[in-house]
Structure formats: C-alpha cells, structure tokens
Structure 1
Amino acid sequence: MENQPNPVQPFVGQLEDQARVAFYKKTYAHLAGAVLLFILVETLFFQLDGILNLALSLTGGISWLLLLGGFMLVTNYAEKLALRSNDKKMHYAGLVLYVVAEAFIFIPLIFMAMYMAQDGGFEILNQAAILTLALFSGLTAVVFITKKDFSFLRSILTIGFFIALGLIIAGALFGFNLGLWFSVGMVVLASGSILYQTSNMIHKYNEEQYVAASLGLFASLMLLFWYILSILSRD
C-alpha cells in the first residue's frame, strides 16, 4: 500500500520522540485490534453454515480466481478508505472491511488445517500463530534497530507478487498444486513485505495515518500467517 506524501505534515521519522512513540503505540494498538477482530469474525463465520459453505464452494478453478479477484478489489477499496479519505470514520471503515474480507478468504485454509489435522487442528493454528508472531517481531526489530529505509524493496516485491499471482492463476486453471517451495517463496515475499511496510510506517506516513499504517502491517502479517499455516498443514 502506497502512501501519498503530504508536503505540510512531516513523516513519522521526522517527528519529536514523544510524538513518534505515540504514533507507534497507536499503530500497533490498531494492529492488535485488527488481529482480535479477525479472530472474532473468523469464529463467527465458522458458526454460520451459509457463509462457511459459500466460502468452501469457492475453492476450486474459476471460482477461486473470482474470489481472489473480489478480494483484491475489496483490498484496493479498503486501502483507499484508510489512506486517502480525510474522514477518520472512513479510515476505520477501510480497516474493518479489510479484516472481514481476510476472515472470509481464510475460511477454506483454516477448515483444511483443522480437517487434515483432526484433533490437532487448533495445535497447528497455534503453532502457525506463534511462528508468524516470532518472525514478524524479528523483522520489525530489524527495521527499528537499523533505522534503514526499505523502500527499495518495492520493485522486488511488485515483481515477486506478479509472478506469484501468475502461478496461482495457472494452478487454478490447469489444476496443479503449487507445492511446498511456492509456499516457502511466499513466506520470503511476505517477510519482505513486513520490512517494507514497517519502513513505510517510519519514512512515508504522517502522524495522522496510523490506521492506514496498521492496515498495511496487518495485510503483510496475514499473508505471512497464510503461508506458514499452508506449510504446517501439509501431510
């Protein structure tokens, strides 16, 4: 998610220490809130047979591509609400919309993990969550300790995600499994995205854009969780 520079307001990295710390606290508090909302919405979805069956019916071929396309459209709209609107209510609307969309698209993967692992389904979810949190924390620490601007990763990530999208489309159309190494590669891409989004939080956002910053971090965090869970769910 790209930020639109505001020539009037300084970036977070240019603020006084107190204001900068306040921004970080707000951003990570909103990130934690988004994760909690995701868990609540996901739990609710699994209690609603209509939504559960709909999500599971969209997991193959053209249906999966349509679902991914719809998710990308929702993502783009949510980012615009969270970033470009001057209305704080719209910022929160964008974040909530994105969290709900993530919860819906996660239904098949979580269902598969719990089905394949049977009684160990929750254990796998816990393992994936712990690994994701540990890697996310480590990458975040790298950015804050080095204070490096990782904006140079933008072109690399863009190319990587386009290649990944092409492989996903090909896999859905021709019915082949992308395999373990694809998931490993996506973990690497997601890790790069976390570095990029955390760096953006410091170097590209102003102090009023903490909701948009939390949305970018949440998106990268959930992408990492998705592929770590995919790896752990394999036979």
Structure 2
Amino acid sequence: MENTFQNKILLSETTDQVRVDFYKKTYAHVAGGVLLFVLFEYLLLQSSAIVEFMLSMTQGYKWLIMLGGFMFITNYAESIALKSADKNMQYLAYVIYILAEAIIFVPLLYMAIVYTESYALIQQAAIVTLGLFVGISSVVFITKKDFSFLKSGLTVGFFIAMGLIVAGALFGFNLGLWFSVGMCLLAGGAILYQTSNLVNKYGTEDYIPAALGLFASLMLLFWYVLQIFMSRD
C-alpha cells in the first residue's frame, strides 16, 4: 500500500522522537487489530450456522467466490484508509478488514481445533508467526534499508499464487506443503515491504493505514504457518 495524501509530512523528514511515537502508535494498532480479530473469531466460531456456512464455501468455485469477496473488501478498506484524512473512516475501514479476515479464517481455525481437539496447534502457529513477524520487521529497523524494490516481485508472486489457488479450486488438487512454504516466504517479503514503507514512505499521521498493511501481512503469514502445522501432523 502506498499513501496518496497530499502535502503530508514524511516520517523520514521528522525527528527521532516523532518517528518513535509513530512506530508506537502503528504497532499498538496492529496489536489492537490482533485482539479484535481474536474477539471476532471467538464470536463467529460460537455460531454453528456461520461455521457450517463457511465450511460449505471451501469447495471449488464457492471458495473462489469467497476469495473474490475478500479481495474486494480488502481493496475497499485499503482505499478508504489511504485516501481518507478522516480518522473515523480509517478506523471503520480497519475494523471492516479485520472482520473480513476473521470470517475467512473460520473454516481453517475450526478444522485446526477439531483436528487436534484443542487450541494447541493454533497457539503454536501463532507463536511461530509472531516470532517471524518480529524478526523480519527487525531487519528493516536494524539495517535501515529501503525494501520498496520488493514491490514488483511481490506483485508477480501474488498473481502466480492466485493463479495456482484458482486452478486448485477449479480442478480439485491440493497445492501441498511446498506451496504453503512458498507463501510464507511471500508473506515474509510483504512484511519487509510494509515495514520499509513504515520507515520510508508514510507520513506522520498515517499510522492507521500503516497498521492495516502490517496486519494484512501478519495474517497472511499466520494462515500459511498454520497450514504447515496442520500438514505436519
């Protein structure tokens, strides 16, 4: 995501204290997004009707419809967060995106719970995901390099991934463990790119769209780390 605000004060042009305050706000909003996701997920999983509906949508073209709807909501939320200077609208876009993530995660988390008869697998995947997220993000802050050059590669990678997902859904074949590993690498690249934008591209008031971008990359990584854990057992 790239910011489109006019006449913004770039974070890279401010003092160290302003940057530190911005980072604190951004990661606090990412943490808040994770907590809200957990709350939404808990409530959704309590409804057998929602769970059954989402499980019914995981096969063939139905899953493609779900993915299409999710991508539409993602683009809408990102557009509002980036283009609106109204903080209330930015928060609304962020909450809508978190809810969309929670809905699309319902079948995967339900299967992980049923498969192990506990939350152990989810907890393990969450810990690994958080560790990877912190480690990858730290690379940007430690090296202070601009990873915006990753944008083209990430775009191509996501298009290839979507093509494989569509093919798998239409023709009924399992993409397998190595696809999940590849998507984890792609998610890692997305985290590098989003964190680099955090340091080099955003303005001082862009902490909500910055948090949305990081949250999206974090959830993508969590999805495929959990897939790997489920295929392991």
TM-score w.r.t. length of structure 1? 0.96
Counterpart position of 2:223: 226
Q: Report the Cα offset of residue 10 of structure 1.
A: 2.6
- 224-233 or 79-88: which moved more? 79-88
Aligned partners of 1:9, 1:15: CA distance in 2, in Å?
12
Counterpart position of 1:21: 20
2:165 aligned to 149, 158, 168, which one? 168
Q: Report the Cα offset of residue 75 of structure 1.
A: 0.3
Q: Report the Cα offset of residue 54 of structure 1.
A: 1.5
Deviations for 1:77-109, whole angstroms, at most 9, x for unmatched residues?
Answer: 011111111211000001000000000000111
Aligned partners of 2:2, 2:64: CA distance in 1, in Å?
25
State the AA in 1 paired with 2:4.
Q
Aligned partners of 1:25, 1:219: CA distance in 2, in Å?
18
8 Å contact 1:11–1:202 — kept in the other structure? no
Deviations for 1:123-160, whole angstroms, at most 9, x for unmatched residues?
Answer: 11111011001000001110001010000000000000
Counterpart position of 1:60: 59
Query: How many equivalent residue pairs?
Result: 232
Aligned partners of 1:56, 1:13: CA distance in 2, in Å?
46
Aligned partners of 1:15, 1:188: CA distance in 2, in Å?
32
Aligned ranges for residues 183-202 of structure 1 at < 5 Å?
183-202=180-199
8 Å contact 1:168–1:178 — kept in the other structure? yes
Q: Report the Cα offset of residue 2 of structure 1.
A: 2.4
Q: Report the Cα offset of residue 5 of structure 1.
A: 5.6
Aligned partners of 2:92, 2:82: CA distance in 1, in Å?
11
Whether 2:36 is the aligned partner of 1:37: answer yes
Structure 2 unmatched ranges of 5 or more? none
Counterpart position of 1:178: 175
Counterpart position of 2:107: 108
Aligned partners of 2:162, 2:184: CA distance in 1, in Å?
14
Structure 1 unmatched ranges of 5 or more? none
8 Å contact 2:5–2:82 — kept in the other structure? no
Q: Report the Cα offset of residue 202 of structure 1.
A: 1.2
Q: SS where residue 4 of structure 1 aligns? A: coil
8 Å contact 1:31–1:217 — kept in the other structure? yes
Q: SS where residue 233 of structure 1 aligns? A: helix
8 Å contact 2:44–2:51 — kept in the other structure? yes
Counterpart position of 1:76: 75
Deviations for 1:178-225, whole angstroms, at most 9, x for unmatched residues?
Answer: 000000000000000000000011111101110000000000000000
1:204 aligned to 201, 205, 216, which one? 201
